Amino acid sequence: MSVQPLNSNPASGQTRQQAGTAGAKPLLRARWLRWLNRRVPPAQSLTLDHRTLFILPSGAGMGLLLVIFLLWLLGTNYENNLVLALAFLLVGLLVILPVHTIANLSGLKLQLRDTQPAYAGDYGQARIALRKTGKRHHERVQLAWPPEEGVEVDVVDGDAHEIRLDLPLLQRGRVKAPRIHVQSRFPLGLFRCWTWVDLDAEFLVYPQPKSAGPLPFGASVGEGDQHRTLTAGGDDFAGLKSYQPGDSLRHVAWKQYAGGRDLYSKEYASGSDTRLWLDWDLLGGRDVETRLSNLCAWVLDAERAQVPYGLRLPGHTIDPGLGTVHKHKVLSTLALFPVQGVSQ
């Protein structure tokens, strides 16, 4: 009779094994990235060489190896010199091809030009210049941020070839771009030469615009009188005007009239700020990211309407303005606004 030990549940053992495998993947990835950072350190300009390149047979190359083995087996069994000669010729081809495949990427210089700001949920774009440093051409070079498709380019002259790579951006703030996958299968596709390049690219990601309704005109009053307009019918004394028949007797300036002056009426008006203030406190009851997204949508609406606008955030105030520079300043402040320590 067999005795099964306590707590020997096969399902629980399988679960522990899966958990161990899942926990090992991040550890292996971290070690791989540390080694890669030492081998190919981050730099905005990098020239590829044999130290930064890796090469292995492609699927077609592995298939050719199998064909060579079958040819060698056939030629040996049937003592057919022509078949053996063909097998040895293909072996020589496989010996030479890795040199040419590596040489196709070696000497290629990559330089980051700039990155364009983007909105969360959209694609950020980086401009990268490719230039050859020697006489050798670089053909069918593929660059991508996986899993994106990327681009393929031929660098066959001395001029810099500029490409644009798109990267999906999901969160606002400053986003560090991952490594770029550079590869080539030239000339025959039997070997794949590749590397992972970190051009130290960083994206500024604005909040994702989410409509919060019409622009909040008059919802926030700015400081100072130089930006105020007067609207008749308010409670603030605005001055005297000549008396007109039909004016209220309560508004007649009796003191001035008693002093021997002409008959005047007092004019009253209300003051309002002509500037548009996009205020954090106008969006109470919403979480931080929703408020920032609503403010971002208002910024875009104000720019389209060509209405000068200012921004008020906890700890940040930007005076009203208009134009591309002002828009970038306001959106950058929204993008870099901290999440922690902000009252809802």
By DSSP bridging, strand 138-144 and strand 180-184 are antiparallel
| This prediction's pTM | 0.72
* Contacts of 156 by beta carbon, 8 Å cutoff, 6+ apart: 132, 137, 138, 139
Q: What is the predicted pLDDT for the residue at 6?
A: 39
- CA-CA distance, 304 to 291, in Å (whole number)? 20
Contact 165, 143 (CB under 8 A): yes
Q: What is the predicted pLDDT for the residue at 221?
A: 42
- CA-CA distance, 310 to 42, in Å (whole number)? 38
Q: What is the predicted pLDDT for the residue at 14?
A: 52
Query: What is 199-243 written as a DSSP string?
Result: ---EEEEEPPP---SS--TTSSPPSSSTTEEEEEEEEEEEEEEE-
Q: What is the predicted pLDDT for the residue at 323?
A: 92
- CA-CA distance, 107 to 86, in Å (whole number)? 34
Q: What is the predicted pLDDT for the residue at 283?
A: 87
Contact 155, 137 (CB under 8 A): yes
DSSP tally for the chain: helices H, then strands E: 6, 17
Contact 215, 183 (CB under 8 A): no
- CA-CA distance, 307 to 212, in Å (whole number)? 17
- CA-CA distance, 162 to 155, in Å (whole number)? 10
Q: Which residues of the chain register pLDDT less than 50?
A: 1-8, 10-11, 19, 220-234, 236-238, 271, 341
Query: What is 243-310 written as a DSSP string?
Result: --TT--GGGB-HHHHHTTPPPEEEEEEEEEE-SEEEEGGGGTTS-HHHHHHHHHHHHHHHHHHT--EE
Secondary structure letter of residue 5 according to DSSP: P
Which helix (H) or strand (E) element contains residue 76?
Answer: helix 59-77
Which 3 state secondary structure label does DSSP give 40? coil
The rounded Cα 64 to chain-centroid distance in angstroms is 42
Residues facing residue 205 across a β-bridge: 118, 173
Q: What is the predicted pLDDT for the residue at 17?
A: 53
